[in-house]
């Protein structure tokens, strides 16, 4: 049985949510919603569905929604829909404040609803394939760089870009941050356009995380170091390489003593896997791979970084 769904906010990202949900065998894209009527009409025609300009009109007509509006509206859109028994996937950052996040989590629990946060990198095939190799991280370096986009100048790189990597770090390290040091610079906008953060976790792992929108090219990679291996992850290329000592080699004397694993990864886009997971959770009543609580934790760390950032 297909799940009746709608996408609220059909801008640069929301249009892709609509595209995938419109083609997914387990969903029935009933509506796209946007306050821009011309945009709503255009995307509805492309996806052969209906359009609305007021999200409140969805109540009673759909089972689940994807909320892809600007972050400032996440809470005010999600709250009434959850209160009316509609499952929600809310794009990242989850909300503007921890209080808003906590309230949405509480409503979803009370109503026994799926509340998922759109940390799409969790569904990157390279991340999924790397997870089984992560066991005792000592140091991890994350770089997410890209060109300036005026559409996001209202939000800094911490909440726009780095928050993806903060969620991945929680996924890999599974421990609390005990200290942090953060530096940033405003170059093209009134918010931080580049940031460098060092995080120390309770288990001793150290993470160096960089985010920038002043680079000419996209560069999104993770380099993870453990006592027995080095793991290289290319977000954009969906490439994973795991370097370890070859069996029987107690000491490395040359590169020939190092073995390299390069798993073949599926080619579907991460957004497909994210939406597939959301639909399955709604259908089967399972916990989300990226729950409201996890979205809140990433947001809390991001806000703490901003609070402590030195310019």
Q: Mean pLDDT of residues grouped by 10 in the chain (311 residues)? A: 94 97 97 97 98 98 98 97 98 97 98 98 96 95 93 90 97 96 96 97 97 93 94 93 79 74 90 97 91 98 96 88
- Final residue of a domain: which of 68, 85, 113? 113
Both 305 and 162 in a single domain?
yes
Whether the bond between 115 and the residue before it is cis, its omega within 30 degrees of 0, is no
CATH number of the domain bearing residue 43: 3.40.50.720
Q: Count CA within 13 A, CB hemisphere, residue 260.
A: 8
CATH number of the domain bearing residue 235: 3.30.360.10
Residue listed under structure tokens 């934790």: 297
Q: What is the pTM of this model?
A: 0.94
Q: Return d(Cα 78, Cα 168) in angstroms, integer.
A: 24
Q: What is the pLDDT of residue 152?
A: 83
Q: Could you tell me if residue 296 is inside a domain?
A: no
Q: What is the pLDDT of residue 35?
A: 97
Both 129 and 77 in a single domain?
no
Both 109 and 166 in a single domain?
no
- Those residues whose C-beta lies under 8 Å from the C-beta of residue 1, and which sit 6 or more positions away, are 283
Q: What is the pLDDT of residue 105?
A: 98
The range of the structural domain enclosing residue 147 comes to 122-267+301-310
Q: Could you tell me if residue 149 is inside a domain?
A: yes
Residue listed under structure tokens 């009434």: 80
- Those residues whose C-beta lies under 8 Å from the C-beta of residue 223, and which sit 6 or more positions away, are 140, 141, 142, 230, 231, 232, 233
Q: Could you tell me if residue 237 is inside a domain?
A: yes
What SS3 state is found at 134? coil
Instruction: State how many domains the chain has.
Output: 2
Q: What is the pLDDT of residue 250?
A: 67
What SS3 state is found at 39? helix
Question: Tokens standing for 153?
Answer: 């100048």
Q: What is the pLDDT of residue 245?
A: 80
Q: What is the pLDDT of residue 249?
A: 65
Q: Return d(Cα 40, Cα 21) in angstroms, integer.
A: 16
From the list 157, 135, 137, 134, the residue with the least C-alpha distance to 147 is: 157
Q: Return d(Cα 166, Cα 13) in angstroms, integer.
A: 20
Q: Return d(Cα 269, Cα 86) in angstroms, integer.
A: 26
Radius of gyration of the chain (CA): 20
Both 217 and 83 in a single domain?
no
> What letter does residue 237 receive in the DSSP assignment?
T
- Those residues whose C-beta lies under 8 Å from the C-beta of residue 252, and which sit 6 or more positions away, are 245, 258
- Hey, which residues does 61 pair with through a beta bridge? none
Q: Return d(Cα 307, Cα 311) in angstroms, integer.
A: 11
What SS3 state is found at 205? coil
Q: Return d(Cα 67, Cα 74) in angstroms, integer.
A: 7
Q: What is the pLDDT of residue 287?
A: 86
- Final residue of a domain: which of 88, 113, 138? 113
């Amino acid at each position: 049985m297909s799940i009746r769904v709608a996408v609220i906010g059909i801008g640069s990202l929301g249009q892709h949510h609509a595209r995938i949900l419109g083609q997914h065998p387990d969903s029935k894209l009933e509506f796209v919603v946007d306050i821009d009527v011309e945009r709503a009409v255009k995307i509805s025609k492309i996806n052969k569905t209906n359009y609305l300009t007021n999200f409140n009109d969805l109540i009673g007509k759909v089972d689940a929604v994807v909320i892809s509006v600007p972050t400032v509206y996440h809470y005010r859109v999600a709250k009434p829909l959850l209160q009316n028994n509609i499952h929600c996937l809310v794009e990242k950052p989850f909300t503007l404040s921890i209080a808003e996040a906590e309230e949405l989590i509480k409503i979803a629990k009370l109503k026994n609803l799926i509340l998922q946060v759109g940390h799409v990198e969790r569904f990157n095939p390279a991340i999924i394939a790397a997870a089984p190799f992560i066991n005792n991280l000592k140091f991890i370096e994350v770089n997410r760089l890209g060109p300036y986009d005026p559409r996001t100048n209202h939000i800094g790189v911490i909440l726009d870009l780095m928050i993806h990597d903060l969620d991945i770090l929680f996924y890999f390290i599974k421990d609390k941050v005990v200290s942090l040091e953060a530096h940033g610079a405003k170059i093209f906008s009134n918010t931080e356009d580049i940031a460098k953060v060092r995080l120390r976790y309770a288990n001793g792992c150290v993470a160096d995380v960089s985010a920038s929108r002043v680079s000419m090219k996209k560069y999104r990679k993770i380099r993870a170091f453990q006592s027995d291996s080095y793991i290289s992850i290319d977000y954009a290329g969906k490439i994973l390489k795991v370097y370890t000592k070859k069996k029987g080699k107690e000491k490395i004397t040359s590169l020939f003593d190092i073995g390299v694993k390069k798993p073949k990864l599926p080619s579907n886009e991460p957004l497909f896997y994210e939406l597939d997971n959301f639909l399955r959770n709604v259908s089967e009543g399972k916990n989300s791979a990226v729950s409201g609580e996890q979205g809140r934790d990433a947001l809390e760390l991001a806000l703490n970084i901003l609070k402590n950032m030195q310019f």
